[in-house]
Amino acid sequence: MKILSLLIVILASANSFAQNIDCSSFKTGHFKYLDKSYADLLTIRTDSSQIDTYSETSNFEATSRLKWLSNCRYEFEYYKVNDAKFQPLIGTKYTIQITAIKGDTIVCRKVVNNKLQVSMQMVKIKDL
């Protein structure tokens, strides 16, 4: 019983700590990924939409509707792409949980269609 009580306290503390992050300055702006696989991807986020583009290396552009679920959690779903080969992205739902903030960099957990995909880092390069 003591172990169960201790475990509950530890989990509650961890959950409480995660909710104390202030993500308000990362809700809008221009972002780049630190992961080398997405290094050329630019994300432009407003209060209600997100545009992902590889404008420097290709003409790829995908537009999504965005909804903030909490202070540090949002979801988006692509509804428009400018190239037919990316049509399978349409309707894909992404849920992003910001788990840490380090200066202008956020650490996120990405869930795609209810399946955990990766942890990633994004740096804010410009305000809107």
Contact 51, 35 (CB under 8 A): no
Tokens of 106: 């956020």
Question: How large a percentage of the chain has pLDDT more than 70?
Answer: 84
Measured between alpha carbons, how far is 97 from 106 in angstroms, rounded to an integer?
10
Short-list 78, 83, 117, CA closest to 97: 117
How confident is the model over 67-97, as pLDDT tens digits?
A: 999 999 999 999 999 989 889 999 999 999 9
Q: How far apart are CA 10 and CA 54, in angstroms?
A: 42
Task: pLDDT band for 1, please (50, 70, 90 cuts).
Answer: very low
Q: How confident is the model at residue 24 (pLDDT cuts 50, 70, 90)?
A: very high
- Which region holds residue 91: left if phi is over 0, alpha if psi is between -120 and 50, else beta? left
- Rounded Cα gap, residues 76 and 64, in angstroms: 6
Instruction: Please tell me the pTM assigned to this model.
Output: 0.78
> Is pLDDT at 45 greater than 90 in this prediction?
yes
Residue of 35 and 17 predicted with greater confidence = 35
The domain made up of 2-126 has a fold known as Lipocalin (2.40.128)
Q: What confidence score (pLDDT) does residue 119 get?
A: 87
Plot region of 76 (φ>0 → left; ψ -120 to 50 → alpha; else → beta): beta
pLDDT at 18 over 60: no
Q: Where are the domains of the chain?
A: 2-126
